[in-house]
Amino acid sequence: MLPGIGLFGTGQVVRVIVPFLRAKGFKIEAVWGRTLAEAAELARSLEIPFYTSRIDDVLLRKDVDLIFIMCSPNLHAQIAVKALGIGKHVVCDKPAGLSQQEALKMVRAAQYYPSLISIVNHSLRFLPAFVRMRRAIEEGYLRGPVTVIDIRVQMGSLLHNGYDWLCNDTMGGGILALVGSHVIDLIFHLVGQRAIRVHAVVRTFTQTTQFINGIRHVSAPDFCTFQMELSGGALVTATLSNHLPGQLTQEVLVCGAGDHLVVRGGDLHGFREGMNKDGKEEVLYSDVDNLEDSTINSIDSIPLPYVKGLKKLIGALREAFQPVEDKKGWIKEPVSSAATFEDGLYVQAVIDALRQSNKRREWIKVCILTEEPDPNPLLSAAVRATAISI
Protein backbone atom coordinates (compact mmCIF):
# COMPACT_ATOMS: atom_id res chain seq x y z
CA MET A 1 0.00 0.00 0.00
CA LEU A 2 1.36 3.41 -0.96
CA PRO A 3 1.91 5.93 1.84
CA GLY A 4 -0.36 8.94 2.21
CA ILE A 5 1.35 12.22 1.38
CA GLY A 6 1.54 15.49 3.27
CA LEU A 7 2.63 18.51 1.24
CA PHE A 8 4.39 21.57 2.64
CA GLY A 9 4.13 24.55 0.32
CA THR A 10 1.68 26.23 -2.02
CA GLY A 11 3.99 27.30 -4.84
CA GLN A 12 4.06 26.28 -8.48
CA VAL A 13 6.15 23.18 -7.82
CA VAL A 14 3.32 21.77 -5.68
CA ARG A 15 0.86 22.26 -8.53
CA VAL A 16 3.33 20.45 -10.80
CA ILE A 17 3.96 17.41 -8.62
CA VAL A 18 0.38 16.69 -7.50
CA PRO A 19 -0.69 15.36 -10.93
CA PHE A 20 2.48 13.24 -11.11
CA LEU A 21 1.88 11.80 -7.65
CA ARG A 22 -1.76 10.98 -8.37
CA ALA A 23 -0.85 9.42 -11.71
CA LYS A 24 1.43 7.02 -9.80
CA GLY A 25 -1.32 6.10 -7.33
CA PHE A 26 -0.31 8.28 -4.37
CA LYS A 27 -3.06 9.94 -2.34
CA ILE A 28 -2.56 13.52 -1.19
CA GLU A 29 -3.96 13.68 2.33
CA ALA A 30 -3.00 17.15 3.54
CA VAL A 31 -1.36 20.42 2.54
CA TRP A 32 0.32 23.13 4.63
CA GLY A 33 0.50 26.77 3.64
CA ARG A 34 2.23 29.80 5.09
CA THR A 35 -1.22 31.28 5.66
CA LEU A 36 -4.53 29.51 6.06
CA ALA A 37 -5.90 31.37 3.04
CA GLU A 38 -3.08 30.13 0.78
CA ALA A 39 -3.53 26.55 2.00
CA ALA A 40 -7.31 26.73 1.54
CA GLU A 41 -7.04 28.04 -2.01
CA LEU A 42 -4.58 25.33 -3.04
CA ALA A 43 -6.61 22.59 -1.35
CA ARG A 44 -9.73 23.75 -3.15
CA SER A 45 -8.11 23.98 -6.58
CA LEU A 46 -6.32 20.60 -6.27
CA GLU A 47 -9.06 18.82 -4.31
CA ILE A 48 -6.93 18.04 -1.27
CA PRO A 49 -9.14 17.05 1.70
CA PHE A 50 -7.23 18.75 4.52
CA TYR A 51 -5.38 22.05 4.75
CA THR A 52 -3.71 23.97 7.56
CA SER A 53 -1.13 26.62 8.43
CA ARG A 54 0.18 24.59 11.39
CA ILE A 55 3.15 22.30 10.69
CA ASP A 56 2.25 19.69 13.31
CA ASP A 57 -1.29 19.36 11.95
CA VAL A 58 0.20 17.67 8.88
CA LEU A 59 3.08 15.78 10.51
CA LEU A 60 0.92 14.15 13.18
CA ARG A 61 -1.77 12.84 10.85
CA LYS A 62 -1.94 9.05 10.96
CA ASP A 63 -2.79 8.84 7.24
CA VAL A 64 0.41 10.73 6.28
CA ASP A 65 3.62 8.69 6.01
CA LEU A 66 5.51 10.53 3.25
CA ILE A 67 6.33 14.23 3.53
CA PHE A 68 7.11 16.47 0.55
CA ILE A 69 8.79 19.70 1.73
CA MET A 70 8.32 22.24 -1.05
CA CYS A 71 8.19 25.48 0.95
CA SER A 72 10.78 28.20 1.61
CA PRO A 73 14.26 26.88 2.58
CA ASN A 74 14.19 28.45 6.05
CA LEU A 75 11.69 25.74 7.07
CA HIS A 76 13.34 22.74 5.40
CA ALA A 77 15.49 21.59 8.31
CA GLN A 78 12.82 22.16 10.96
CA ILE A 79 10.20 20.11 9.12
CA ALA A 80 12.57 17.38 7.91
CA VAL A 81 14.11 16.71 11.33
CA LYS A 82 10.72 16.61 13.05
CA ALA A 83 9.20 14.40 10.34
CA LEU A 84 11.99 11.82 10.53
CA GLY A 85 11.80 11.86 14.31
CA ILE A 86 8.18 10.66 14.23
CA GLY A 87 8.76 8.04 11.55
CA LYS A 88 7.84 9.83 8.31
CA HIS A 89 9.67 9.44 4.99
CA VAL A 90 10.93 12.78 3.61
CA VAL A 91 11.48 14.28 0.17
CA CYS A 92 12.92 17.78 0.61
CA ASP A 93 13.25 20.43 -2.07
CA LYS A 94 16.64 21.98 -2.69
CA PRO A 95 18.62 23.51 -1.08
CA ALA A 96 18.89 21.51 2.14
CA GLY A 97 18.26 24.40 4.50
CA LEU A 98 19.86 27.83 4.56
CA SER A 99 23.26 26.85 5.95
CA GLN A 100 25.55 23.92 6.66
CA GLN A 101 24.38 23.95 10.27
CA GLU A 102 20.79 23.32 9.17
CA ALA A 103 21.84 20.73 6.58
CA LEU A 104 23.92 18.91 9.22
CA LYS A 105 20.88 18.62 11.48
CA MET A 106 19.06 16.96 8.59
CA VAL A 107 21.98 14.58 8.05
CA ARG A 108 22.05 13.62 11.72
CA ALA A 109 18.30 12.91 11.71
CA ALA A 110 18.58 10.77 8.56
CA GLN A 111 21.48 8.81 10.06
CA TYR A 112 19.51 8.21 13.25
CA TYR A 113 16.57 6.81 11.25
CA PRO A 114 18.28 4.91 8.38
CA SER A 115 15.20 2.81 7.63
CA LEU A 116 13.36 5.91 6.39
CA ILE A 117 13.66 7.45 2.94
CA SER A 118 15.30 10.88 3.17
CA ILE A 119 16.25 12.49 -0.14
CA VAL A 120 16.75 15.94 -1.66
CA ASN A 121 14.94 16.97 -4.83
CA HIS A 122 17.89 17.25 -7.21
CA SER A 123 15.73 16.08 -10.07
CA LEU A 124 18.33 16.45 -12.84
CA ARG A 125 19.85 13.18 -11.62
CA PHE A 126 16.75 11.42 -13.00
CA LEU A 127 16.58 13.22 -16.36
CA PRO A 128 17.16 10.43 -18.94
CA ALA A 129 19.89 12.39 -20.76
CA PHE A 130 21.97 12.65 -17.58
CA VAL A 131 21.25 9.05 -16.62
CA ARG A 132 22.73 8.03 -19.97
CA MET A 133 25.61 10.50 -19.72
CA ARG A 134 26.65 9.06 -16.36
CA ARG A 135 26.44 5.53 -17.74
CA ALA A 136 28.53 6.50 -20.78
CA ILE A 137 31.21 8.00 -18.53
CA GLU A 138 31.27 4.87 -16.35
CA GLU A 139 31.50 2.64 -19.43
CA GLY A 140 34.50 4.56 -20.81
CA TYR A 141 33.01 6.62 -23.62
CA LEU A 142 35.61 9.26 -22.78
CA ARG A 143 38.94 7.52 -23.43
CA GLY A 144 40.71 9.22 -20.58
CA PRO A 145 39.99 10.98 -17.30
CA VAL A 146 37.52 13.85 -17.19
CA THR A 147 39.47 17.08 -17.62
CA VAL A 148 36.99 19.92 -18.20
CA ILE A 149 33.30 20.41 -17.40
CA ASP A 150 31.55 23.46 -18.81
CA ILE A 151 27.97 24.34 -17.84
CA ARG A 152 25.81 27.17 -19.15
CA VAL A 153 22.26 27.87 -18.01
CA GLN A 154 20.18 30.74 -19.39
CA MET A 155 16.62 31.29 -18.19
CA GLY A 156 14.05 33.91 -17.28
CA SER A 157 13.42 35.53 -13.91
CA LEU A 158 12.69 33.39 -10.86
CA LEU A 159 10.75 36.19 -9.17
CA HIS A 160 7.00 36.34 -8.68
CA ASN A 161 4.97 39.53 -8.98
CA GLY A 162 5.15 40.41 -5.27
CA TYR A 163 7.92 40.33 -2.68
CA ASP A 164 8.52 36.92 -1.12
CA TRP A 165 11.43 34.69 -0.05
CA LEU A 166 12.53 34.25 -3.67
CA CYS A 167 13.61 37.90 -3.64
CA ASN A 168 15.88 37.49 -0.63
CA ASP A 169 19.35 35.91 -0.80
CA THR A 170 19.49 35.14 2.94
CA MET A 171 16.16 33.26 2.72
CA GLY A 172 17.38 30.95 -0.07
CA GLY A 173 16.31 32.90 -3.12
CA GLY A 174 18.37 33.52 -6.24
CA ILE A 175 19.91 31.55 -9.07
CA LEU A 176 22.95 30.38 -7.07
CA ALA A 177 20.87 28.57 -4.44
CA LEU A 178 18.00 27.43 -6.65
CA VAL A 179 19.80 26.49 -9.86
CA GLY A 180 23.43 26.40 -8.73
CA SER A 181 22.54 23.73 -6.17
CA HIS A 182 21.30 21.50 -9.00
CA VAL A 183 24.49 22.13 -10.99
CA ILE A 184 26.83 21.42 -8.08
CA ASP A 185 25.01 18.20 -7.22
CA LEU A 186 24.87 17.09 -10.86
CA ILE A 187 28.63 17.43 -11.31
CA PHE A 188 29.32 15.17 -8.34
CA HIS A 189 26.68 12.70 -9.51
CA LEU A 190 28.12 12.49 -13.05
CA VAL A 191 31.84 12.20 -12.35
CA GLY A 192 32.07 11.25 -8.65
CA GLN A 193 34.43 14.13 -7.85
CA ARG A 194 33.80 16.81 -5.24
CA ALA A 195 34.95 20.42 -5.27
CA ILE A 196 38.04 21.15 -3.18
CA ARG A 197 38.25 24.88 -3.90
CA VAL A 198 36.15 27.42 -5.77
CA HIS A 199 36.11 30.93 -7.19
CA ALA A 200 32.94 32.89 -7.94
CA VAL A 201 31.38 36.14 -9.07
CA VAL A 202 27.77 36.56 -7.91
CA ARG A 203 25.64 39.59 -8.82
CA THR A 204 22.15 40.98 -8.34
CA PHE A 205 21.50 43.16 -11.36
CA THR A 206 17.71 43.35 -11.04
CA GLN A 207 17.04 44.99 -7.67
CA THR A 208 13.61 46.42 -8.49
CA THR A 209 10.75 45.31 -10.72
CA GLN A 210 7.37 46.64 -11.72
CA PHE A 211 5.90 45.06 -8.61
CA ILE A 212 8.87 45.39 -6.22
CA ASN A 213 9.98 49.02 -6.14
CA GLY A 214 9.25 50.35 -2.67
CA ILE A 215 11.23 50.11 0.54
CA ARG A 216 12.14 46.48 -0.12
CA HIS A 217 14.60 45.57 -2.86
CA VAL A 218 15.62 42.30 -4.46
CA SER A 219 18.83 40.89 -2.97
CA ALA A 220 18.66 37.43 -4.55
CA PRO A 221 21.34 37.07 -7.27
CA ASP A 222 20.25 36.76 -10.88
CA PHE A 223 23.71 36.01 -12.30
CA CYS A 224 26.70 33.97 -11.18
CA THR A 225 29.74 32.48 -12.78
CA PHE A 226 32.10 30.18 -10.92
CA GLN A 227 35.02 27.82 -11.27
CA MET A 228 35.64 24.67 -9.25
CA GLU A 229 38.70 22.48 -8.90
CA LEU A 230 37.58 18.91 -8.30
CA SER A 231 39.18 16.22 -6.17
CA GLY A 232 40.16 14.16 -9.24
CA GLY A 233 41.83 17.05 -11.02
CA ALA A 234 38.98 18.09 -13.31
CA LEU A 235 38.17 21.78 -13.70
CA VAL A 236 34.62 23.18 -13.86
CA THR A 237 33.34 26.44 -15.29
CA ALA A 238 29.68 27.37 -14.88
CA THR A 239 27.65 30.41 -15.87
CA LEU A 240 24.06 30.80 -14.67
CA SER A 241 21.86 33.72 -15.66
CA ASN A 242 18.25 34.89 -15.28
CA HIS A 243 18.54 37.36 -18.15
CA LEU A 244 17.07 35.33 -21.01
CA PRO A 245 13.24 35.48 -21.01
CA GLY A 246 11.41 32.46 -22.32
CA GLN A 247 12.37 28.80 -22.44
CA LEU A 248 15.44 27.63 -20.54
CA THR A 249 18.61 26.84 -22.48
CA GLN A 250 20.98 24.47 -20.70
CA GLU A 251 24.21 22.87 -21.85
CA VAL A 252 26.39 20.52 -19.82
CA LEU A 253 29.69 19.59 -21.51
CA VAL A 254 32.05 16.93 -20.12
CA CYS A 255 35.44 16.55 -21.85
CA GLY A 256 38.25 14.02 -21.61
CA ALA A 257 41.19 12.99 -23.85
CA GLY A 258 39.84 14.74 -26.95
CA ASP A 259 36.39 13.17 -26.54
CA HIS A 260 33.30 14.79 -25.10
CA LEU A 261 29.72 14.23 -24.03
CA VAL A 262 27.21 17.08 -24.01
CA VAL A 263 23.60 17.42 -22.91
CA ARG A 264 21.68 20.23 -24.57
CA GLY A 265 18.25 20.62 -23.05
CA GLY A 266 17.18 16.98 -22.77
CA ASP A 267 19.28 15.49 -25.59
CA LEU A 268 22.63 13.72 -25.22
CA HIS A 269 25.34 13.98 -27.89
CA GLY A 270 28.81 12.48 -27.98
CA PHE A 271 32.06 12.86 -29.89
CA ARG A 272 35.05 10.50 -29.95
CA GLU A 273 38.18 11.82 -31.63
CA GLY A 274 39.13 9.67 -34.62
CA MET A 275 35.93 7.62 -34.35
CA ASN A 276 33.34 10.04 -35.73
CA LYS A 277 34.34 9.93 -39.39
CA ASP A 278 32.53 13.11 -40.44
CA GLY A 279 33.82 15.02 -37.43
CA LYS A 280 30.30 15.55 -36.11
CA GLU A 281 28.69 14.58 -32.83
CA GLU A 282 26.54 11.48 -32.66
CA VAL A 283 23.11 11.50 -31.03
CA LEU A 284 23.21 9.15 -28.05
CA TYR A 285 19.76 10.03 -26.69
CA SER A 286 16.95 12.19 -28.01
CA ASP A 287 14.29 13.46 -25.62
CA VAL A 288 10.79 12.74 -26.91
CA ASP A 289 8.83 13.16 -23.66
CA ASN A 290 6.58 16.19 -24.11
CA LEU A 291 4.59 15.52 -20.93
CA GLU A 292 1.33 15.36 -22.85
CA ASP A 293 0.24 12.46 -20.64
CA SER A 294 0.26 14.70 -17.56
CA THR A 295 -2.49 16.95 -16.28
CA ILE A 296 -0.24 19.94 -15.72
CA ASN A 297 -1.94 23.26 -16.45
CA SER A 298 1.18 25.41 -16.40
CA ILE A 299 4.90 24.86 -15.94
CA ASP A 300 6.06 28.28 -17.07
CA SER A 301 7.87 29.03 -13.81
CA ILE A 302 9.79 25.72 -13.68
CA PRO A 303 12.21 24.72 -16.48
CA LEU A 304 11.07 21.65 -18.42
CA PRO A 305 14.18 19.47 -17.75
CA TYR A 306 13.66 19.87 -14.00
CA VAL A 307 9.97 18.96 -14.35
CA LYS A 308 10.80 15.85 -16.39
CA GLY A 309 13.44 14.78 -13.88
CA LEU A 310 10.97 15.31 -11.04
CA LYS A 311 8.45 13.12 -12.83
CA LYS A 312 11.05 10.33 -13.05
CA LEU A 313 11.94 10.78 -9.37
CA ILE A 314 8.31 10.31 -8.38
CA GLY A 315 8.20 7.18 -10.54
CA ALA A 316 11.20 5.83 -8.63
CA LEU A 317 9.45 6.58 -5.35
CA ARG A 318 6.46 4.60 -6.55
CA GLU A 319 8.71 1.59 -7.22
CA ALA A 320 10.37 1.96 -3.80
CA PHE A 321 7.03 1.45 -2.07
CA GLN A 322 5.97 -1.49 -4.24
CA PRO A 323 5.49 -4.77 -2.32
CA VAL A 324 8.38 -7.17 -2.80
CA GLU A 325 7.93 -10.93 -2.91
CA ASP A 326 8.99 -12.60 0.35
CA LYS A 327 9.74 -9.23 1.87
CA LYS A 328 7.53 -6.82 3.74
CA GLY A 329 7.73 -3.07 3.53
CA TRP A 330 9.68 -1.13 0.90
CA ILE A 331 13.16 -1.09 -0.66
CA LYS A 332 15.53 1.80 -1.30
CA GLU A 333 17.05 0.55 -4.56
CA PRO A 334 14.75 2.54 -6.92
CA VAL A 335 15.77 5.80 -5.21
CA SER A 336 19.39 4.81 -4.54
CA SER A 337 20.59 7.29 -7.16
CA ALA A 338 18.69 10.18 -5.54
CA ALA A 339 20.56 12.89 -3.64
CA THR A 340 20.86 12.12 0.06
CA PHE A 341 20.91 14.63 2.90
CA GLU A 342 24.70 14.09 2.98
CA ASP A 343 24.78 15.23 -0.65
CA GLY A 344 22.69 18.23 0.37
CA LEU A 345 25.26 19.10 3.05
CA TYR A 346 28.06 18.96 0.47
CA VAL A 347 26.13 21.22 -1.91
CA GLN A 348 25.54 23.70 0.90
CA ALA A 349 29.28 23.66 1.71
CA VAL A 350 30.11 24.54 -1.89
CA ILE A 351 27.50 27.33 -1.97
CA ASP A 352 28.94 28.74 1.26
CA ALA A 353 32.43 28.71 -0.27
CA LEU A 354 31.17 30.37 -3.47
CA ARG A 355 29.58 33.17 -1.47
CA GLN A 356 32.79 33.66 0.53
CA SER A 357 34.79 33.73 -2.69
CA ASN A 358 32.54 36.40 -4.18
CA LYS A 359 32.86 38.49 -1.03
CA ARG A 360 36.63 38.10 -0.65
CA ARG A 361 37.40 37.95 -4.40
CA GLU A 362 39.72 34.98 -4.06
CA TRP A 363 39.81 31.18 -4.30
CA ILE A 364 38.20 29.52 -1.26
CA LYS A 365 38.66 25.99 0.04
CA VAL A 366 35.47 23.95 0.43
CA CYS A 367 35.07 22.80 4.04
CA ILE A 368 32.23 20.44 4.94
CA LEU A 369 30.90 20.85 8.46
CA THR A 370 31.22 17.68 10.54
CA GLU A 371 29.83 18.92 13.85
CA GLU A 372 27.55 21.74 14.87
CA PRO A 373 29.37 24.87 16.10
CA ASP A 374 29.13 25.76 19.78
CA PRO A 375 26.28 28.32 20.15
CA ASN A 376 28.08 29.98 23.09
CA PRO A 377 31.84 29.44 22.77
CA LEU A 378 32.71 31.89 25.57
CA LEU A 379 30.51 30.06 28.07
CA SER A 380 31.91 26.69 26.95
CA ALA A 381 35.44 27.95 27.40
CA ALA A 382 34.62 29.09 30.92
CA VAL A 383 33.10 25.71 31.76
CA ARG A 384 36.21 23.90 30.46
CA ALA A 385 38.47 26.20 32.48
CA THR A 386 36.42 25.53 35.63
CA ALA A 387 36.60 21.78 35.01
CA ILE A 388 40.38 21.95 34.62
CA SER A 389 40.82 23.93 37.83
CA ILE A 390 38.69 21.45 39.73
Query: What's the pLDDT tens digit per position in 68-104?
Result: 999 999 999 999 999 999 999 999 999 998 999 999 9
What confidence score (pLDDT) does residue 377 get? 53
Give residue 330's pLDDT: 59
Q: Is the pLDDT of residue 266 over 50?
A: yes
What pLDDT score does 292 carry?
Answer: 55
Higher pLDDT pick, 22 / 290: 22
Residue 298: its pLDDT value, please? 44
Mean pLDDT of 135-146: 95
The confidence score (pLDDT) of residue 388 equals 44
The more confidently predicted of residues 1 and 354 is 354
Which residues are CB-contacts of 257 (< 8 A; sequence separation ≥ 6)? 142, 143, 144, 145, 147, 273
Stretch 136-151: mean pLDDT: 96
**CA–CA gap between residue 84 and residue 189 (Å, rounded):** 25
Question: What proportion of the chain, given as a percentage, has pLDDT over 70?
Answer: 89
109, 129, 27, 108: which is closest to 68 by C-alpha?
Answer: 27
Task: Indicate the pLDDT class of residue 160, thresholds 50, 70 and 90.
Answer: confident
Element (H, E) at 5: strand 5-8
Q: What is the mean pLDDT of residues 355-381?
A: 81
Go through the domains of the chain in sequence order and give each one's CATH number: 5-124+301-340 (3.40.50.720), 125-288+348-365 (3.30.360.10)
Predicted local confidence at residue 334, as pLDDT = 80
- Which pLDDT band holds residue 159 (cuts at 50, 70, 90)? confident
CA 251-253-256 angle, 5° bins = 175
At 303, is the pLDDT very low, low, confident or very high (cuts 50, 70, 90)? confident
| Mean pLDDT confidence for 278-285 | 89
Query: What pLDDT was estimated at residue 279?
Result: 76
Q: pLDDT tens digits for 162-214?
A: 888 999 999 999 999 999 999 999 999 999 999 999 999 999 999 988 888 88
Are 238 and 195 in contact, with CB atoms under 8 Å apart?
A: no
What is residue 380's predicted lDDT score, i.e. its pLDDT? Answer: 52
Burial of 256-285, coded b for 16+ CB within 10 Å and e otherwise, reads beebbbbbbbbebbbbbeeeeeeeebeebb
Question: Which residues have CB under 8 Å from 241's CB, separation 6+?
Answer: 153, 154, 155, 175, 222, 223
Q: Using alpha carbons, select from 204, 194, 261 the residue that is nearest to residue 230.
A: 194
Is-contact 241 153, C-beta < 8 A? yes
Buried b (16+ CB within 10 A) or exposed e, 86-97: eebbbbbbbbbb
Helix (H, G, I), strand (E, B) or coil at 171: helix
What are the DSSP calls for 90-118, one per residue?
EEEESSSSSSHHHHHHHHHHHHH-TTS-E
CA–CA gap between residue 164 and residue 182 (Å, rounded) = 22
What DSSP designation does 4 have? P
pLDDT at 60 over 80: yes
Task: Look up the pTM and report it.
Answer: 0.90
DSSP notation for 215-243:
S----S-SEEEEEEEETTS-EEEEEEES-
Of 4, 352, 384, 3, the residue nearest 184 (C-alpha):
352
Ramachandran region of residue 258, left (φ > 0), alpha (ψ -120 to 50) or beta?
left
Q: Give the residue, 82 or 302, on which the prediction is more confident.
A: 82
